[in-house]
Amino acid sequence: MMPAHYFHLHLARVCLESRTGLSIASGLSEGGYDVLLVRDANGLPTIPGTAIAGVLRHLYQRTFPDGETETLFGTETKGNESPSRIHFSWGAVHDSHNQPIEGLLLGAEAEKLETDSLLRLLAEPQPVLRDHVRINHRGTADGSGKFDRGTLPPGCRFTLELLLWSESANDPCWERVLSMLYSPLFRLGGAVRRGLGAFNVVSIHENRFNLKDPGQFNRFTGLHRSLSSAEGLARLPRDPLSQHLTDPRVVPLCVTMNLKGEDFWRFGQGGVSFNPETGRKPPDQLPLGIPKITWSDDGQARVVDLAILIPASAIKGALAHRFVFHLLRYEGRFLEEMETPDTPDNFDPRSLKAVQSLFGWANDTDGDGSHGGVGRLLMDDLTLDLPAREPRYWVGRLTHNSIDRFSGGVRDGALFTEEMLFDLSWPFILTIIDPHSEPMQDPNLKKALADVLDDLATGQLSLGAGESKGHGIFTSDKVTWSDGGQWINGGQL
């Protein structure tokens, strides 16, 4: 219960659409998968209110460090306890007709879980299963680094409700909180540094009520309980909220390229061919593809069964390994000095401060009591629609024989094929968080990062599978910095 002097109620119903895959773990395990998605009573994916509250609290404190975070979100500090003035509902997933699913579906309503194509996909145990293999600094699979993660396809919509209790009708905290939903740092769930959890705001409908005024009280009590109803609420444009996201201290840097494949390329291991041929065996190795959800202007969803996936984790790993190379080059440190025949594993690039500042490090990795820290690089998983051209103009098939190293002949049973993509381009956006912070002012860090991006743009850094066979070469005509290159060239923000 809120104190009596908080009689102004701010209410907003927010519709969010996932720009990338989304993976909010339930913490449960059933043996077959490493990560299970959190679900509601209908077995449909949902967004817990705690997930939203935690992320917004962190972003608010980071963006507006004026000490009001605790009075807004509450605190348990002994002697200064206070409840949160802002409340969050759970996010209800939308069906294919753009209606949030609320309450327990029983009887005839439960049939919607089977008849609605979107809900049928989302009700599957793992709508999209992503396999991961952790690569060490030698470019090979790390010992115990094989795991999978269940995710939702891009394009899922959720609606949630926010309430703020206040002493005034125009509480500045209200628009500040809503502006956080537009922040590029607003991401939900797990693996957000590996390309998941990014959202776009579809709409915000809000109103403010003085509950001591009988007329406004009646308007509040007359609101429809359904999250889908905007009656009695006004649509809030983005422009008034964007003014809260202009502080240079909290605005991240963005690097933009348009990468074009110079030849064949493939990311991951998929399960469906992009160019199936009748009567012919599918290739043994396939590009990674996943379903995605698109929405028409009239609010109808369409499930696209197959889209090309470019996982951010594959790009981030390549950038990290090349970054270590350039960093050590600038620091004048070479491998033969760090690793000897007696101590072949003495070098761990994760211990380098610049690597930790840019890519983060795990909590207490070596039992040294380290608290760990998140990286300062953000990138999104990218899903590409299939080109309108015939598949033969952008899908290739390669046949390989394994050669016996001694005889030079073909090994029995070692014939395999792989499907590759070519003549496609895609936008790559790298977001750098806190470029103004002290660790990010290391000149060697900046020079190494600039060299990595130059390598990528000039085709000197391969991405994806088949690097040793000449695949995965991309180029970009230019590298565009949101600040015009001031920070990377040594300037301060």
3-class SS string, 167-203: CCCCCHHHHHHHHHCCCCCCECCCCHHHCCCEEEEEE
Taking alpha carbons only, the member of 266, 289, 283, 298 closest to residue 462 is 266
- Report CA-CA distances (Å) from 386 to 382, 394, 427, 479: 13, 10, 15, 26
Most confident of 10-19, 25-34, 134-143, 414-423: 10-19
The secondary structure element, H or E, covering residue 312 is helix 312-331
Q: How many CA atoms lie within 13 A of 172 on its CB side?
A: 7
pLDDT for 157: 98
End-to-end, the C-alpha distance of the chain in Å comes to 44
| Mean predicted confidence (pLDDT) in 146-163 | 93
Q: Which of 146-155, 243-252, 324-333, 347-356 has the lowest mean pLDDT?
A: 243-252
Question: Do 474 and 262 meet the contact criterion of CB atoms below 8 Å apart?
Answer: yes
Mean pLDDT on 107-119: 93
Digit-coded pLDDT (tens) for 36-59:
899 999 999 999 999 999 999 999
Which residues, 6+ apart, have CB-to-CB distance to 227 below 8 Å? 13, 89, 92, 100, 102, 159, 160, 161
pLDDT above 90 (res 467): no
**Residue of 384, 295, 381 whose CA lies nearest to 20:** 381
CB 175 within 8 A of CB 244: yes
Q: By the 8 A CB rule, do 90 and 47 touch?
A: yes
CB atoms < 10 A from the CB of 196, how many? Answer: 28
Mean pLDDT throughout 299-327?
94
* Among 335, 353, 375, CA closest to 193: 375
Least-confidence region, from 15-19, 21-25, 94-98, 238-242: 238-242
Q: Which residues pair with 431 in a beta bridge?
A: 254, 378
Note the pLDDT of residue 249.
Answer: 64
59 - beta bridge partners?
none
Q: Which residues in 34-98 belong to E strands, given as ranges?
A: 46-47, 86-88, 91-93
Over 50: is that where the pLDDT of 493 sits?
Answer: no
At 415, list the tokens. Answer: 């014939």
Give residue-wise pLDDT tens across range 413-449.
Answer: 778 899 999 999 999 999 999 898 888 999 999 999 9
* pLDDT reported for residue 248: 65
Cβ-based neighbour number of residue 300 at 10 Å: 12
Give dist(CA 355, CA 15) in Å, integer: 37
Q: 224-248 pLDDT, tens per residue? A: 999 999 999 999 988 777 777 776 6
Span 108-123, mean pLDDT? 94
Q: What is the pLDDT of residue 8?
A: 92
Task: For 294-303, write each residue's pLDDT tens digit.
Answer: 999 999 999 9
Write down the pLDDT at residue 373: 81
For position 341, what pLDDT does the model report?
62
Mean pLDDT of the chain: 88
| Type and span of the H or E element at 143 | strand 141-151
Cα distance between residue 18 and residue 196, in whole Å: 9
Pairwise CA distance, residues 97 & 302, whole Å: 10
- Residue 134 or residue 35, greater confidence: 35
Handedness of CA 478, 20, 431, 309 (dihedral sign): negative
Among the residue ranges 53-57, 270-274, 334-338, the one predicted with the least confidence is: 334-338
Q: Is 167 exposed, middle or buried (0-12, 13-18, 19+ CB in 10 A)?
A: exposed
Q: Give the up-direction half-sphere exposure of residue 484: CA atoms within 13 A in the CB hemisphere.
A: 4
pLDDT band at 385 (very low <50, low <70, confident <90, very high): very high
Give the separation between CA 459 and CA 168, rounded to whole angstroms: 57
Find the farthest-apart pair of alpha carbons in the chain and give their distance in angstroms, rounded. Answer: 93
Amino acid at 138: R
* Residue 420: per-residue pLDDT: 95
CA distance 303 to 295: 9
pLDDT at position 369 is 60
pLDDT of 16: 97
User: Cβ neighbours of residue 266 under 8 Å, at least 6 residues apart?
Assistant: 285, 286, 287, 288, 418, 419, 420, 421, 464, 465, 466, 471, 472
Question: Which residues, in sequence order, are CB contacts of 128 under 8 Å at separation 6+?
Answer: 21, 150, 151, 152, 153, 290, 291
**310 φ, ψ (degrees, to nearest 5):** -115, 100
**For residue 366, is pLDDT > 60?**
no
